[in-house]
Amino acid sequence: KDDVVDLIFAKYGRGQCAVVGGFSTFQARSAFADVAKVLGVAERDVRRFTEHFPWSFGGGWIPAEHTPSGGTKLSELLAASPENRDLPLNEEPFKTALDIAEFLDGFPRFPKMHPCGVVLSRQPMNELTPTFISNKGYATTHFDMDAVEAIGLVKIDVLAQGGLAVMRDAKEALAQRGVSVDLKALEPWQDPTVWEMISGGGARAVHHIESPAMTGLCRQCNARDIDTLIAIVSVIRPGASNEGKKLAFTRRYQGLEPMTYPHPSLEPVLRDTFGLVVYEEHILQICEAFAGLPPGRADVLRRALSKQKRALIAEIRDEFFASARARGHTPEKIEEVWGLVAGFAGYAFCKAHSTAYGVEAYQAAWLKRYYPAEFMAAVLTNGKGFYAPLVYVLECHRLGLKFLPPTINEPGPAFTARGNAIRVPLTRAKGLAESTVKRLLAERKRAAFASLADFDRRVDPSPEEIETLIRAGGFDEFGQARTRQFWEAQQIQKTGSEKRKTENEAVNLEFDFEAGRNPVANFFAQNPALLREPTRRERLEAEAELFGYAVGRHPLELFEDVAWDTYCPVARLGEHVGESVVTCGLVVEQRIHHQISGEPL
């Protein structure tokens, strides 16, 4: 996305362009944290206190008996929360911090960049709006998105779509080994093995349908056709999934619940979605079919609902009620239908948008089904998925893919498929400076590295960086134990005028090691027991520290004392219906699930 923004600034001139600004506002966590620090609470205590705070005021379920003021007070929300009820809410200075924090709800905290908005003008931008320079170096307006439109600036939303990048990279990797893939030729999207994967909940890493809610709904609906997938993409949205819509959609799709319509006039509008308001254009169609509201005003309502403009919503509500009464509808029915429309507040998809996402999801699922190594390598490279990298690594293990350890002569920057395995790029190791990574990639493009000394001479890393690369296994291909690699690196960096060695000196140093004339080589010749390789556990722990996941093996293999054959894999649970089984796994994410009423499970 930044590349496109740079292109716009270059094409139209930096003086005529700006990124749309905005303001980050105080929410529950930030308001309490800032107030508490002003009152003298240490940073570590603030973090501990707010660890399980809701992000926003009123952002959680509060039982009626705990909400004498209607559930708007932050302290009431915390008192009703199982994670926070034991906090010293009534002790000072926390009680005062909570009281003051509530007054800051919604107040501006600091200016920020709009995630995708860019504005253009014919005249210099600073003649139309004050600007500041963001952390990315872009001129950014002090006016927010509504204000820049109000003064007549041309606003463009620049959006990035990670799923397209994944499919592009997977296709390029396949092309490099002579496999040509035309995803457009997959229409009419009827491959039974792909639908088996989607309906079985195996769409993890497939953009748009990989979240637990999406995979769960695909499984519950036993999705087997593109129309169902398109509807599912829209059902799981903040504006469409409220009021038990997900459950109703599933039951009606399966024929377990009859299709009903709020009013006969809405049957043509909602027939394809089983009587449920799912797509964004349903707002327009309901307003016109039921109330006779002009399409222009209905579209204004749609935008007002998405941006929560309460005054404008109230204004159009009066128009909706008046127009519906003129058509002879009863007040009760008008209220019911208006509730459907107003309850659609939030971010929703139009059907065309959902169709594009549904087709793309099928194409990605097809790549995962038939070319899992190339597809998962592209997912890990782009890093734009729903989950943390560890989850995708575990998915690779589930698919039977292996991971090849990082090596200095295949440093990246992308994950690469090698048959039924994926090579982890060395440049993803934590602790490498961007400048070092650039030098490493440029030098490797020029010629392969012949040794650790050759790498040090050409790339000139810091001592900490070369230690990181050794711990990551980057130099294992040269056949030396890692203990010797550490000592050799220290000797190399100590020799040759503070790492300013000539090429001949580097070669001589390597010759000394082989000939045994180097003090490090002599030391290990006399103490061979010290030249031990790290244990498997030590390697896995180092990989987990540097990459965020164990590269060589499944992370559960860290627990060597566990008798794994006594546990039941999830894939075999169906073989033990009615029995008690023991299973185990890794915690990859923590979340609180809620019932339809909002009550935590």
Which of the pair, 492 or 326, is modelled with greater confidence? 326
Residue 433: alpha-carbon gap to chain centroid: 24
- The predicted-structure confidence for 520-539, as pLDDT tens digits, reads as follows 556 656 665 556 778 888 88
Q: Considering just the CA atoms, what is the radius of gyration of the chain in Å?
A: 30
Q: What is the pLDDT of residue 306?
A: 80
CA pair distance 154, 147, nearest whole angstrom: 12
Residue indicated by tokens 């570590």: 44
Position 528 scores a pLDDT of 58
| Nearest alpha-carbon partner for 73 in 100, 41, 51 | 100
What is residue 60's predicted lDDT score, i.e. its pLDDT?
A: 47
Express each pLDDT in 185-197 by its tens digit. Answer: 999 999 999 999 9
Residue 484 clears pLDDT 70, i.e. is over it: yes
For 423, list phi and psi in degrees, rounded to 5: -85, 125
34-38, 139-143, 264-268, 580-584: range with lowest mean pLDDT: 580-584
Instruction: Say which residue, 522 or 27, is predicted with more confidence.
Output: 27
- Supply 331's token pair: 């007040």
Residue 241's pLDDT band (boundaries 50, 70, 90)?
A: very low
Residue 411 and residue 534: Cα distance in Å, rounded?
22
Query: What's the confidence (pLDDT) of residue 346?
Result: 61
- Sorted by sequence, the CB contacts under 8 Å of residue 470 that are 6+ apart come out as 482, 485, 486, 489
Q: Is the pLDDT of residue 429 over 50?
A: yes
Q: Which helix (H) or strand (E) holds 397?
A: helix 389-398
Confidence at 349, pLDDT banded by 50, 70, 90: confident
Extract the tokens encoding 189. Answer: 């999207």
Backbone φ and ψ of 470, nearest 5°: -65, -45
In angstroms, rounded to a whole number, what is the distance separating the alpha carbons of residues 222 and 208? 17
pTM of the shown model? 0.80
Q: Tell me the pLDDT band of 543, cut-offs 50, 70 and 90.
A: confident
pLDDT of residue 507 exceeding 60: no
Look up the CATH architecture of domain 387-530: Orthogonal Bundle (1.10)
**Domain extents in the chain:** 2-25+108-157, 28-103, 165-352, 387-530
pLDDT band at 268 (very low <50, low <70, confident <90, very high): very high
- Rounded to whole angstroms, how far apart are CA atoms 568 and 49? 38
Distances (CA, A) of 48 to 80, 95, 333: 18, 16, 50
Predicted confidence band of residue 514 (pLDDT cuts 50, 70, 90): very low
In the predicted model, is pLDDT for residue 220 greater than 80? yes
Highest mean pLDDT pick, 228-242, 259-273, 496-510, 522-536? 259-273
Q: Other C-beta atoms within 10 Å of 260: how many? A: 12
